[in-house]
Amino acid sequence: MAGLALLDRRLLIVTGKGGVGKSTVSAALALLAARRGKRVLVAEVNAQERVAPLLGASPSGPVARTAAPGISTVNVDPQHALEEYGLMVLRYRAIYQAVFENRVVKFFLRVIPSLPETLMLGKILHEARAEHGGRPRWDLVVLDAPATGHAVQLLGVPAALLDTVPAGPMRRDAEWMHDLLTDPGRTALSMVTLPEEMPVSETIDLDAQVREVLRIPRGPLFLNAMPDARFTPEERERLTRLEIFPPPLGPAAQASLLHAERAEQAQRHADRVAAAVHLPTVTLPLLAADRWGRAAVERIAEAMAGEL
């Protein structure tokens, strides 16, 4: 999938095992899209916000705020999503408060299965299709989705509702949500992984669920924190002979050999995931940074742009 086509979607979903760099990839994609003149919203889901701080801004909370030129961020939580949905349906705050703040209604809302997930996902997908003045409110919505299992649960809600909910407003909402998620012209889901055993195994399992259960169109795989293969076999042999030397030469040779071994292992894991998921792969470099912030995201965005 070409980079331009990827960024021309209305909704990009980024997910993967916790700790693989989903938020960094989401922030970098937002930067690339904003540089092309797009108005971008990056949405997190009931989480400790990472994207806005990565872009050098304060956390946004439940109301979208500008985090960088052309980029806004929002952290969607169930309570605010319910309020927005209620006001959208009932139109007037007094009516919303009379209905949704009623003690009996609140009790029944708490026991409706998947209601929080439906509200949060509905809020994000509504932003992806919303228009203002005859044009999209956002050219691109990037969903920094929860980690693997929770992402599948969240994204699977519309299909589950279609299987269980009778005709009515909730079913109509489930229909348009499912249509948007499964439309290859508007939506793509990209997985992020590390070149390590556990993240790769989880990515392979996630890919199967995306294809067979969620049926969301897939974007490229982002292989994050890939170490450089710096040494040829001949150079590694020479480094091995240098290990016995006193400092600084010996320890430097040992450190170089350790890096070479890590790069070899990473390549094996990269080959394994590429063979299993059959997706275009965007390889992102392993960075050494004492502080992970806007400068690091900029470097990732540059590497991403080159590969896309």
Does residue 184 contact residue 217 with C-beta atoms inside 8 Å?
yes
- Residue 240 half-sphere exposure toward CB, CA atoms < 13 A: 8
pLDDT in single tens digits along all 308 residues of the chain: 444 489 999 999 999 999 999 999 999 999 999 999 999 999 999 889 999 999 999 999 999 999 999 999 999 987 777 666 654 544 444 434 444 455 544 444 454 446 678 778 988 999 999 988 889 999 999 999 999 999 999 999 899 888 887 888 778 888 999 999 999 999 999 999 999 999 999 999 999 999 999 999 999 999 999 999 888 889 889 988 998 999 999 999 899 889 889 999 999 999 999 999 999 999 999 998 778 899 999 999 999 998 77
SS (H, E, C) 242-296: HCCCCCCHHHHHHHHHHHHHHHHHHHHHHHHHHHHHCCCEEEEECCCCCCCCHHH
Comparing CA positions, the residue from 25, 21, 19, 20 lying closest to residue 6 is: 25
In contact, 187 and 11? CB cutoff 8 Å: yes
Place of tokens 């290859």: 184
Tokens in use for 83?
A: 């309020």
Q: Which amino acid is at 79?
A: Q
Q: Which domains does the chain have, with CATH numbers?
A: 3-307 (3.40.50.300)
Provide the whole-model pTM: 0.88
- Could you tell me if 239 and 257 are in contact, meaning their C-beta atoms sit under 8 angstroms apart? yes
Nearest residue to 181 via CA among 202, 205, 154: 154
Q: Is the dihedral of CA 232, 238, 241, 246 positive or negative?
A: negative
> Which helix (H) or strand (E) segment is 184 a member of?
none
Using left for φ > 0, alpha for ψ between -120 and 50, and beta otherwise, residue 278 falls in left
> Residue 91 has which token pair?
């139109």
pLDDT at 83: 65
In this predicted structure, what is the pLDDT of residue 82?
67
Provide the 8-state DSSP code for 218.
Answer: B
Residue 2 has a pLDDT of: 45
Place of tokens 């971008």: 40
If DSSP states are collapsed to H, E and C, what string results for 48-67? Answer: CCCHHHHCCCCCCCCCCEEE
54 near 297, Cβ under 8 Å? Answer: yes
What are the structure tokens assigned to 230, written together? Answer: 């710096």
